[in-house]
Every structure is written in C-alpha cells, then in structure tokens.
Structure 1
Amino acid sequence: MKQEQNLTEGPVLKTLLAFTVPFIIANVIQALYGAVDLFVIGRYCPPESVAAVSTGTQVTQIITSMITGLTLGSTILVGKYTGMNAKEEVKKTIGTTLSVFALAALALTAAMLLFVTPILELLKTPEQSFALARQYVVICSCGIFFICGYNAISAILRGYGDSRRPMMFIALSCALNVAGDVILVKYAGLGVAGVALATIGSQAISMICAIVYLNRSRFIFTFTLSNLRIDSQKVRELAAVGIPISLQECMVRLSFLYLTSVTNRLGVYAAAAVGIASKYDVFAMLPATSTANALAAVTAQNYGAGKPERARASLFAGLGFAVAASSLFWLWAQSSPETMIGMFTRDGAIINEGIPFFRSCSYDYLAVSFVFCLNGYLNGRSKTIFTMISCCFGALALRMPLIWLVYTYWPDNLLRIGSIAPAVSGFMAVYTLIYVVVSIRRERVERTEDAALAE
C-alpha cells in the first residue's frame, strides 16, 4: 500500500484540506455513534432512558478521549519518522503502539467494571435512570479493546499520511451500528442495552476488517503476533508525547462530566437537554477537532522534513477553515435551537429546557476552533507539556469552579451555565496564541544563531 499523501509538498491549503476532509468525514461518522444511539432511544424509549444514555455516553467518552489522546502521540511520532524517511523507526513505533494499547485496553476494562457505580454516583445520575446508565456503561466497557484497536490503527495510518482508510473503516462500523440500534431497540425491545451492544459489536467488526485489509494491502507493517514487540525507547517517546495529550483530553472531559453532574441535579428534563447539546457539541466542533488532529500530523511531518515555515502556513490555513465551518452550527443554534433539540426528542419540556442552554453554549463552537487548532500545531511540534498544562488549567481552575459558582447562585439558569464554556475557551485562545507567537519568534532566533555558528 502506497502512502496516501506526502504532507510536506504541494500547495499548503490544498494539501491540508485533502488530508483534513477525510478526517472530518471519519469524525462525523464516528460522532454518529452516540447521536444515533440517542436518536433511537429518544424515539422508542421513555425520558429516563434518554437521560441514561446521555449520562452513560459522558462516562464512556472520557475513556475514548483518553485513548484518542494517547493514539495522537503515535500519529505525531509516525509522522515525524515518515517525514525523516526512517522506515525502521516507523515500524518500531507501530509495533510498540499496538502492543501497549492491547495491554492498556485490558487494564481500562477492568477499571471501568470495578468503578462504574461510584462514577455514576459522583455524577448524581437521576435515580430513575441509574440502573439503565450502569447497564449502558458496563456493556460499552466490554468493548474497550476494540475502541483501542481501531483508534490505534487509525492514528498510525494518519501519521503515515493516510486519512482515507480510517474513514472507510469507521463508515463500515457506523453502518453496522445504525442497523444494530434499529434491530435491537425497535424490534428486539432491548432498549439501552441494545444500543450498547450495537456499538461494541460494530466496533469489533470494524477493527477486524481493518487488520485483514491492511495485511492484504502491503502496508509498511504486517499485523502478526511476531511483530507486536515493545521497544523501550519508543515507549518512552510515546509516553512523552501521548500522555500529556491524553491527560489534557481527560481533564476536559472531566470538566464536562462535572457539568453533567450539576445539570443532573436539575432533573431528568434538564439532564436530557444538556445531553442532547453534548451531541451537537461533538458535531459542531468536528471541523476544529479534525483540523487540529490533521495539523498535528502535518506539523510533525513538516518538522521531521525540516520545513517549519510550511507547518506555520498550514496552521493559518487550518484556523480559517475551522472557524468558517463551525460558524454554520453557531448560526443554527442562534436562529432555531428548538429544531436542533427536536431532532432528538419530541418532548416539549426537554425542548423548553434546552433552548437557552443551546443559545449560550453555542458560542463555544467558535472559540474552540482557535484553541484546538493552536493546540494541534503545538502537539505536532511535540510541545505537549504546554497544551497539557493549558487544558488542565482551563478545566480545573476555570471551567469547573465557574460551573460550581453559577450553579450555587443561579441553580435554575441554564443560560448562564451554558455561557461558561465559551468564556473559558475564549480566554484559553488568547494565552495560547501568545505562546505560539513567542515560540515561533524564539525558534527563528535559534535558527539564525545556528546558521551564524555554522558559517
């Protein structure tokens, strides 16, 4: 299998978009998992089931965020070594990534099964939804191995310059998930358990198909047990890059889990409304998240090839694209939030609760476009310590305290609660941009000094 795209050559905008668009399509399809689950549950089950899936997906998303954060470390390293044309280092990185993630999947599965009840209690899950939410999380936890496998393979391919095949694999998985949801919920009557079983079953089939396909396509790495070896140096490199990214993703998810715990105290209707909003967050922020992850791979390859100026040009192109795309969802939320909520439920009480929240939280669609793209560029340069500190600060020192403050003094005001995320993201965008500008200037000075010494 040939490398899909050389990210270090050609027109900057065209190269970035050609790599990013399949990324976006894949992420849209992946986001459909939770959205389809909630859509089917909302159509065929009572409100407590909607609240259960909303809360349950918040829990499972933190695991997914942890996994995708770690796999992005693999994308960056594979991209760097691909840019350097170091094929043996690429193979070592792939073998180590797959081996480490297989072990991590087993540990995460055990941890989730042990702590699912305390986690749901911390989230103040409504009593009438608690048993259903626990059922959903337990079943989904049994599929963590497949989540790890798929995300690891996709991250490796993207670092290698291939964003199309991950899109194909996730499209297969989503089609199977949609069919499974309808069959197991509408016809088999399994409710919450049905959507969870459909999710893990579709992910398992997708991962297996990906491995079989790549082994038959002469990929740079052959997926066999003999090639699954852990290289200690690559483990250290993956940890140095991936753990900070994973931690920042987890901190962001934790802050939104805290938001879920707060809104759960406001009752089933508020919990369901915020749960629906979280599904739109995923879709509305997809241009930003996809561009950010693409920028990490593009930046890593270009820095590996000694082309930092091209990486910076890609950053500005990506920022413009992400902001323009995310603004479409912002306009929809401002003009007709009731139609957004109505896509998932016909319950008038849920719609009324959600309208003010949608109008305020949708400003975050624009703010995060700057934060995510800037962080993607920095991650590609392996400056993951800064992005980790930044995201942890935003989540723990800003977002969570502000949620507590607003809930304490205005407990029934979803408009003010929804305004917290965009305010925090806007502040983060400002200081991240300052850091990027300073780091670029410092880099140019160092290059000038090195050139002078060489003469």
Structure 2
Amino acid sequence: MTENVTPTPVAVASDPASAPIPPRQTARGGMDLTSGPITKTLIVFALPTLASNVLQTLSGSVNSIWVGQFLGNSALAATANANIIMFLMFATFFGFGMAATVLIGQAIGRGDVDAARRAAGGAIGLALLFSLVIAVTGWFASDAILRLLETPVEAFTLAHDYLRVTFIAVPASMLMVTLSMASRGAGDAITPLRFMILTVVLDIVLNPVLILGVGPIPALGIAGSALATAVAGTISLLGMIAWFYAKKHVLCLRGAELAYLAPSWPELRFIIGRGLPMGAQMLVISGAGLVMVGLVNREGLVTAAAYGATLQLWNYVQMPALAVGAAVSAMVAQNIGAGRWDRVSTITNSGISVNLAMTAVLIVLLLLFDRAALTLFLGSDSPAIDVSRHIQLIATWGFLPFGVTIVLIGTLRANGSVVPPLIILFLSSFPIRLGLYYLSYPWLGGDAIWWSFLVSMLASMAMAFAVYKRGNWRRTLPQPAG
C-alpha cells in the first residue's frame, strides 16, 4: 500500500456511463443497492434501520417510564441532562464512522472488498481508542459537565450517579454503533436489527431489576438504570461479533487483515480529513441540544421534566428522517462507487417523499394521543403534562423540514461533501436559533425556545436545498490508495 491518496477521475451526474460497472460483492444477507426500483429498494433497506431506531427509542422510553414512575420527576430530569451529554460524546466520533461508511459503501459499489475491510477495520480501531479515552475522561469530569448545563439542584446528584455509570458503557456502545454503521454501508441492515432486538429486550428486563432490586440483587436506584443499559450493550456487542464470524460477513477481518484495526496513514488521513467536518456537524447538533437544555433548565424543574418527556416522544418523530437519511446515504455511496450517477437524484427525491409522508403521519398521531403517552413518563397528575403538550404543539412541526435536511445532507455526505452541511447546521443552530430566542424572549417568554427551534429547522432546509441544487458536490471524491 502506498503512502498517498490518488484522486479518481471526476464524474458528474450528466455523464452516468463514464466508466464500466465492475462486479460487486455485498454483505452476506445484504442488498445490492445499485440496481432495481429505487423507491422500493430504499424503503426495504430503510425499514430495518427504522425498526432498529424504534427499538432503541422504545428501550429508552421504557427506561424513562421506570425512572419516572419509581424515582420521580427529578430523576427523569436527571436522565435528560445525562443523555444529551452522551449524545455529545457519540457525536464527537460520529464523523469518523460516517467517513468510513462512505468508503465502505463506495468500495462495495465498485466491488473492492479489501478496501471495504480496510475502512471498517480503521473505524473499529479508532472507535475503541476514542471510547476508552471518553470513558475515563467522562468519569472524572461528570460534576463539571453537569454544572455547565446548570442542572437543577434537585436533579444534580441523581444525574451525577446516572452519568458516571453511563460513561462506563461508552466503549461497548460506541463499538456497537460503529459495527452497525459499517454493516449498513455494506448493504446489510438486518444484522444490526437482530442485535438491537437483543439489546432492547435485555435493557427493558434488567432496568426494573437493578433499579428496585430483586432477591440478592441490591436496589441501585438511577445507577441501576444506567448499569442495565451497559450490561445489555456489552452482551449484544459480543453476540454481534460472534455472528459476523459465524456467518462469514463480508467485513470480517481474518489473519493478516486484523492489522487493519490499526489504520494505515492513507485510511487514517481520509477518515480524519472527511470525518472531522462530519463529526463537527454532530457536535453542532449536540451543542445546540446542550444549549436547549440550559435554556429549558432556566425555566424551572417542571419545564425541565416536561422537556425530558417531550424528547422521548420526539425521538419517535425524528426516526423516519434518520432511517431514510441513512438509507439514502448508503444507496448514494454505492451507486457513486458503481458509476450510477443517473440514479442519485432519484434516490434523493424518493428519500424526501418517503420521509415527509412517514413523519407527517407520526406528528398527527402524536398530537392526537400525546396526553396518554405523556402520562406514562410523568404520571397522570403531573403539571408537566400540559407544559409538554404546549411545547409539542408549537415545535413538533419542525421535524418535517428537519427530515428534508437530513436526506439532502445524507446525499452530500455520501460523496464526501462535508463542509457545506457543517456551515448550514451551525448557522441554523446558533446565529439563527439563539438570535431568534434572545430577540423574542421579552415578549414570548419561554415560548421563544420552541418558536426558535421551528424557524431554525425551516432555515436549515432552505440552505440545504440551495447547496444541493447549486453546489459542486457532484464529483467523485479521492480514495485512499490501495
């Protein structure tokens, strides 16, 4: 392997047949995303990812129900504060995983299995190193982080206990996420779904056991909820690795290929060079989430608890966008690798249409049945229920433009265009959202948080469309030399 990056010839959408299409190898049990009806293929490929997201969110929701019912609103507010921090931790690595996924998708598309394995190995090695650093650092920095968030004093101790145990689970969780991303990049969305089912079942069963204690198992309170998640994730990770090797998955590393876990400089340079802006995108999103939590906490414990419950419901509303966006990104990457530029725009348009339809249905259902759902998290007599319903009525519609933005960014990202999406997300999340909040707070009060959220989502969609239509992203990105 040479120590340089060799650019591939530029290909544009108007020249789809510029090169012959090589034979392709997909993951065992995976899909060839470069042929067949686009909308049907997109939906079939996105459904396992959507199901995984549903299950993961369901697990979090059930855990929140346990916490809210057994430990009260202060504990629920504590988990909301801790969970946004964990999202921030994962966001810092997300870009590296996505850069590797782009490499994997394009390599599978052009039939280069060895390149796909090199990219997967590099991502896994980086994930292991990065997650260990985060776990150790987070353990010792928990108090300082919670103070920066202005965590309510009533929830501080609970949040501290929950967060510290959660940091212990970071290595297993991050490796699981990395393996799942790599598998989907190779066209296999079924394997991640199998082990998400295992994770959810274990997590739901272990949560009440460890929170309340059963027999010789002591009652651990909120720390028990975090420990249940850690145990479930570790067992599922070990099971997924064993499954990969038992089924001879296309991304399995054997013998000399295990050296790919220590990425060579070409792969490392590509993953870092493309991954840093992608990771920065997630940092911007999570940073905006942290700011939201800080602003919400200033409104008091009732609003903080209401927002924690609202986030649980919003997790479901945003799932179609995340699943369809991931499917679009994988499909576009494989089609670019195969030289099928003629399919890229249709994939993107189909992704937008499918996402809008699915998200609209979820929003309507949520607004119709939100009181019953909120009672599960907050209890039937909580004053936070009416606050949460008010939040949803204003802001939930923002997930329609959010979904469009995610699909457009997924297309750009699939071909290595990572800086424009970063700029878009930064502008919409900070200057626009915070500017609107501070300007309107004097006459809207706390509602300024929710209206600024909605308007910022519309702004990000408009900017993403402008980049997609006029940008120069339609070029084949340079690949690490093999």
**Bin for the TM-score computed over the shorter chain:** over 0.9
1:273 counterpart residue number: 306
Task: Report what 1:128 is aligned to.
Answer: 154
Deviations 1:269-294 (A, max 9, x none): 11010111111221101000111111
Per-residue deviation, 1:409: 5.3
Counterpart mapping for 1:63-82 below 5 A: 63-82=89-108
Candidates 230, 250, 264, aligned match of 1:231: 264
Match of 2:211 in 1: 185
Residue type matched to 1:101 in 2? A
- 1:337 is the counterpart of 2:363: no
Name the SS of the counterpart of 1:348 in structure 2.
coil
Superposed, which structure 2 residues align to 1:383-422 within 5 Å? 383-407=417-441, 410-411=444-445, 413-414=446-447, 416-422=448-454
Distance 1:41 1:69 in 2: 32
Paired residues in the alignment total 442
Match of 1:257 among 290, 293, 300: 290
Distance change >3 Å, CA 419–CA 335, structure 1 → 2: farther
- How far apart are residue 366 of structure 1 and its match? 1.0
1:142 to 141, 150, 168: 168
Task: Assess if the C-alpha contact under 8 Å between 2:183 and 2:192 holds in 1.
Answer: yes
Q: Which among 223, 236, 248 is matched to residue 218 of structure 1?
A: 248
Give 1:70 shift.
2.9
Q: Give percent identity, aligned residues only.
A: 22
Q: Does 1:370 align with 2:404?
A: yes
What is the alpha-carbon distance in structure 2 between the residues aligned to residue 391 and residue 152 of structure 1? Answer: 23
Code of the aligned partner of 2:142: V
- What is the correspondence of 1:12-31 to structure 2 with a 5 Å cutoff? 12-31=38-57
How many Å separate the matches in 2 of 1:125 and 1:407? 21
1:357 and 1:417 in contact (8 A); partners too: no
Q: Which is further off, 181-190 or 35-44?
A: 181-190
Supply the AA of the counterpart residue of 1:432: A
Contact 1:406–1:417 (Cα < 8 Å) also in 2: no
Secondary structure of the residue that 2:471 maps to in structure 1?
A: helix
Give the counterpart of 2:328 among 271, 295, 301.
Answer: 295
Deviates more, 1:74-83 or 1:218-227: 218-227
Q: Measured at CA, do residues 297 and 215 of structure 1 come closer, stay the same or move farther in structure 2, by a change above 3 Å? A: same
Once the two structures are TM-superposed, the CA of residue 369 in structure 1 deviates from its matched residue by 1.1
Matched residue SS, 2:35: coil
Per-residue deviation, 1:83: 0.8
- Given the alignment of the two structures, is residue 103 of structure 1 paired with residue 133 of structure 2, yes or no? no
Counterparts of 1:233 and 1:429, CA distance in 2? 34
Number of the residue aligned with 2:392 = 358
Match of 1:39 in 2: 65
For residues 337 and 206 of structure 1, what CA distance do their matches in structure 2 show? 32
Partner of 1:286: 319
Cα shift readout 1:172-227 (whole Å, capped 9, x = no counterpart): 11110000112112445322111100111111111111111111111234356555
1:83 and 2:115 correspond: no
User: 1: CA distance between counterparts of 2:152 and 2:474?
Assistant: 52
Pick aligned residue for 1:427 from 448, 459, 462: 459
Q: What amino acid does structure 1 have at the position aligned with 2:126? A: V
2:16 aligned partner: none
Alpha carbons of structure 1 residues 54 and 61: separation in structure 2 relative to 1, 3 Å: same
Distance in 1, matches of 2:100 and 2:361, equals 32
CA contact (8 A) 1:68 1:151 kept: no
Decide whether the 8 Å contact of 2:405 with 2:464 is kept in 1: yes
Q: Contact conserved, 2:399 with 2:457, CA < 8 A, in 1? A: no
Assess, with a 3 A threshold, how the Cα gap between structure 1 residues 141 and 401 changes in structure 2: closer, same or farther. farther
Q: For the Cα contact (< 8 Å) 1:185–1:194, is it kept in 2?
A: yes
Match of 2:360 among 327, 339, 342: 327
Deviation at 1:228, TM superposition (A): 2.4
1:321-361 deviations in Å (ceiling 9; x for gaps):
11111112321344443233223121431112212111111
Give yes or no for contact 1:244–1:388 (8 Å, CA) kept in 2.
yes
Is the partner of 1:218 in helix, strand or coil? Answer: coil
Q: Distance in 1 between matches of 2:177 and 2:307?
A: 27
Are 2:93 and 2:130, in contact at CA under 8 Å, matched by a contact in 1? Answer: no
Aligned with 1:205 (options 229, 235, 241)? 235
Q: Runs of 5+ in structure 2 lacking a partner?
A: 1-26, 477-482
Q: Which is bigger in relative contact order (C-alpha 8 A, separation at least 6)?
A: 2
Give 1:110 shift. 2.3
Distance 1:221 1:330, change over 3 A: closer
The CA distance in 2 between the partners of 1:443 and 1:69, in whole Å, is 20
**Aligned amino acid, residue 118 of structure 1:** A
**2:223 & 2:442 partners in 1: Cα distance?**
35
Alignment TM-score, normalising by the size of structure 2? 0.87
Residue type at the aligned position of 2:328: L
Structure 2: how far apart are the matches of 1:370 and 1:29? 23
2:471 corresponds to which residue? 439
CA gap 1:275/1:318 in 2 versus in 1, 3 angstroms: same
Cα deviation, 1:336-395, whole Å, max 9, x if unaligned, reads 432332231214311122121111111112121111111111111211111112112222
Shift of 1:443: 4.7
Shift of residue 10, structure 1, vs aligned partner: 0.6
Pick which of 135-144 and 36-45 moved more.
Answer: 36-45
Indicate conservation of the 8 Å contact 2:183/2:251, yes or no.
no
Distance 1:122 1:274 in 2: 18
Deviates more, 1:17-26 or 1:324-333: 324-333
Q: Distance in 2 between matches of 1:373 and 1:196?
A: 32
CA distance in 2, matches of 1:402, 1:32: 33
Query: What secondary structure, in the 3-state scheme, does the structure 2 residue paired with 1:344 have?
Result: helix
Q: Distance in 2 between matches of 1:210 and 1:307?
A: 32
CA distance in 1, matches of 2:344, 2:212: 49
**C-alpha distance in 2, partners of 1:222/1:334?**
45
Greater helix percent: which structure? 1
CA contact (8 A) 1:124 1:262 kept: no
Contact 2:91 2:282 in 1 (8 A): yes
Partners of 2:474 and 2:419 lie apart in 1 by: 17
Q: TM-score, normalised by structure 1?
A: 0.92
Deviation at 1:147, TM superposition (A): 1.4
| 1:53 Cα offset (Å) | 1.2
Match for residue 52 of structure 1 among 70, 78, 99: 78
Gaps of 5+ in 1: 447-455
Within the candidate set 336, 344, 349, 1:311 is matched to 344
